Structure 1
Amino acid sequence: MTPITLEQLLDSPGKEVGVSPWRVVSQTMIDQFADATDDHQFIHCDPERAARETPFGGTIAHGFLLLSLLSAMTFETLPPLENGKMGVNQGFDQIRFLAPVKTGSRIRARFVLADVKARPSGWVQVTHDVTVEIEGARKPALTARWLTLTFVEPQRQPA
């Protein structure tokens, strides 16, 4: 993927800047997330009980699993910042879980660039409005305003 320049980025707020490929949310993925977070609630990990006792007809993904998949969806969708040396997650201003994601569903993320702030220190703060869509569903799984920081190596002027 071709890197984007800071000038291009600064010129893009308000624009949709990427849509990730679809990805399947499998029971294996959900179970591994449950193991990593120690959240084994039956609505995520017990397909038979979830089918009997919930309105979902089976298991659903953890909301935090969906949120954590944003990192992978970002790397496969958005171009890196030219001369960026490292990026860090700064957090979220807002997260809303709007619809459950049933096991076996396909999801993807839409990224709209909301804001860019280039700091004199070399850090560039980027804010994206993200929507995680569920294939065939009317409502998205989640919406979020996500802040990240990228350190851009200062360019040396020739002597």
Structure 2
Amino acid sequence: MRDLPGAIGLELGPSPWLTIDQARIDDFARATGDHQWIHVDVDRAARGPFGRTIAHGYLTLSMVPQLLSEILDVTNRGSGVNYGIDRVRFISPVVEGARIRMRGRLTEATPRGEGVRYRLELVIELEGSQRPAMVGEFIVLALP
């Protein structure tokens, strides 16, 4: 964990591809109460602007912990705590059935007490697209 400051600029990823299927979208809608038709009404969405349902932006955001665990393994720490998120942007819609993956870069690592606070620039890529699904800066506190 104390080695993180020496890893500034480290490129991370890509993670394996992850398919965002309708079951995951429906589960997220139930969990959050966001049942907007563009997410859950398959028939209406087929006639809508994207030709099918799309994942909630916050569903894409919620995939960060899973995808991050695929590209960053911080050893010698007890836990990691979400500390903040800056500059999150949802660039491209994630249509049902699309595959996403993550790339990132460690941009900052600051000792904080017995832990280390680190900042990562993360990009969630969308298979077959030049434009990402989402970008943002994520701040995590790694604790002993």
Report the TM-score, using the length of structure 2 for normalisation: 0.95
Counterparts of 2:86 and 2:118, CA distance in 1: 12
Q: Any gaps of 5 or more consecutive residues in structure 2?
A: none
Question: Which residue of 63, 66, 69 corresponds with 2:57?
Answer: 63
Computing the radius of gyration over CA atoms, which structure comes out larger, 1 or 2? 1
Other-structure match for 1:145: 137
**1:35-60 alpha-carbon deviations (Å, 9 max, x no partner):** 000000000001110111x2200100
Cα offset for 1:105? 0.4
Question: Which residue of 32, 36, 40 corresponds with 1:37?
Answer: 32
**1:12-44 alpha-carbon deviations (Å, 9 max, x no partner):** 212212321100000000000000000000000
Residue identity over aligned pairs, in percent, reads 42
**1:103-131 alpha-carbon deviations (Å, 9 max, x no partner):** 00000011110100012x11210100000
Letter in structure 2 aligned against 1:147: I
Query: Runs of at least 4 residues of structure 1 off by over 4 A?
Result: none
Report the TM-score, using the length of structure 1 for normalisation: 0.87
CA RMSD of aligned residues (A): 1.1
Question: Which residue of 123, 126, 133 corresponds with 2:115?
Answer: 123
Question: Which residue of 55, 79, 89 corresponds with 1:86?
Answer: 79
**1:65-105 alpha-carbon deviations (Å, 9 max, x no partner):** 000000111122211232x1111101201100000001000
Counterparts of 2:81 and 2:56, CA distance in 1: 23
